[in-house]
Amino acid sequence: MEETPKPAPPVPLSRWIARIMVAVILAEGIWGLLVSLTRDLIVPFLARQMGADPQSALYLGKGDFDFAALFIALLDLCFAGVTALLLYAWSNRQARPARTRTVIVRKTVPAPEKGLSITPSGPATPNQIATARTEPAGSPQAPATAPPMAAPVPPQQPAKAAPVVKASAAKPAKPKEVYYNLVGEPINPTEDE
């Protein structure tokens, strides 16, 4: 029962290219610093120590140190390091979630049935619908409105069966358009973003 290790997912080509670019940028900065150290610090130091004749083949120069060029090479290395860090972070970033787009969902609202009132507080609750179907519209027991967000209560069965009230097929109601974003939240399309 040995478990075989799962191979790591392959690294995309763009990450390999970014890694190579980071290596080249850092190598260029390090190489520039080494050249500057050699040319502007080590060779003048050796020229002062040797004290050779200017006509000699072993003459290394006057022995003047160039600290400005050394400082510039050090700054170049720092800029190469910052650029390499930014490039590395950019190549390893996670994919951002897609932009939120507006999705249009058309919702149809059925025409209210006879004896069923839709209050300004919201649409009818399941209690109201069940009561309106089992009792006549003029019945004193039928509630006119129910409090919003009321817990559903099983419909009460009347003592005698009443005829079911059917809605007249007059004119179908115009469907109400509701707009949602990708997250599923309703939005108002008339508002400017």
The pLDDT score that the predictor gives to residue 151 is 57
Structure tokens at 106: 């058309």
pTM: 0.42
What DSSP assignment string belongs to 9-33? PPPPHHHHHHHHHHHHHHHHHHHHH
Residue 79, CA atoms < 13 Å, CB-side half-sphere? 9
Express each pLDDT in 8-54 by its tens digit. 777 677 788 888 999 999 999 999 999 999 999 988 888 888 777 76
- Give 100 or 78, the one with higher predicted confidence: 78
* Residues 20/87, Cβ–Cβ less than 8 Å: no
The pLDDT score that the predictor gives to residue 77 is 94
Sequence ranges of the domains in the chain: 13-91
User: 3-state DSSP call for residue 153?
Assistant: coil
Strand partners, 92: none
Structure tokens at 188: 């108002």
The pLDDT score that the predictor gives to residue 183 is 83
Instruction: Point out the least confidently predicted range of 55-64, 72-81, 163-172.
Output: 163-172
